[in-house]
Structure 1
Amino acid sequence: MRVTVFGATGGIGRLAVLRLLDQGHQVTALVRTPAKLALTHSQLTVITGQLSDRDAVEQAVSGADAVISALGPSLKRSTTGTQVTDGTRIIVRAMEAQKITRFVGLATPSLADPRDKPHWKHKVLPVLAGLMFPNALAELKGMTVAVTGSDLDYTIARITNPTDKPATDRIRSGFLGHDRVGSAMSRADIAAFLVSQLTDARYRRAMPAISN
Structure 2
Amino acid sequence: MNVTVFGGSGQIGRFVVTDLLAAGHQVTAYVRNPAKLGIDDPGLTAVTGELSDAERIRQAVHGADAVISALGPSLKRGAKGTPITEGTRNIAAAMAAEDVSRYIGLATPSVPDERDQPTLKAKILPVMAKAMFPNALAELVGMTEAVTKSGLNWTIARITRPTNGKPKGTVRAGFLGRDKVGSAMTRPDIAAFLVAQLTDDTFSKAAPAISN
TM-score bracket relative to the smaller structure: over 0.9
Aligned-partner residue type, residue 168 of structure 2:
T
Tell me what 1:167 maps to. 167
TM-score scaled to structure 2, two decimals? 0.99
Aligned-partner residue type, residue 67 of structure 2:
V
The Cα shift of 1:196 comes to 0.2
Q: Distance in 2 between matches of 1:115 and 1:126?
A: 16
Tell me what 1:177 maps to. 177
Aligned residue runs from structure 1 range 4-23, under 5 A: 4-23=4-23
Structure 1 stretches of 4+ with a deviation exceeding 2 A read: none
Tell me what 1:147 maps to. 147
Q: Residue 127 of structure 1 aligns to a residue in which SS? A: helix
Tell me what 1:3 maps to. 3
Number of matched pairs: 212
The Cα shift of 1:120 comes to 2.0
Aligned residue runs from structure 1 range 64-143, under 5 A: 64-143=64-143
C-alpha contact (below 8 Å) 1:73/1:140 kept by paired residues:
yes
Q: Percent identity?
A: 62
What 5-or-longer segments of structure 1 have no aligned partner?
Answer: none
* CA shift digits 1:83-119 (9 cap, x unpaired): 0000000000000011100000000101111111112
Tell me what 2:207 maps to. 207
C-alpha contact (below 8 Å) 1:109/1:121 kept by paired residues:
no
C-alpha contact (below 8 Å) 1:30/1:46 kept by paired residues:
yes
What 5-or-longer segments of structure 2 have no aligned partner?
Answer: none
Q: Residue 121 of structure 1 aligns to a residue in which SS? A: helix
The Cα shift of 1:121 comes to 2.3
Q: Distance in 2 between matches of 1:39 and 1:50?
A: 20
Q: RMSD of the alignment, in Å?
A: 0.6
Q: Does 1:36 align with 2:36?
A: yes
The Cα shift of 1:128 comes to 1.1
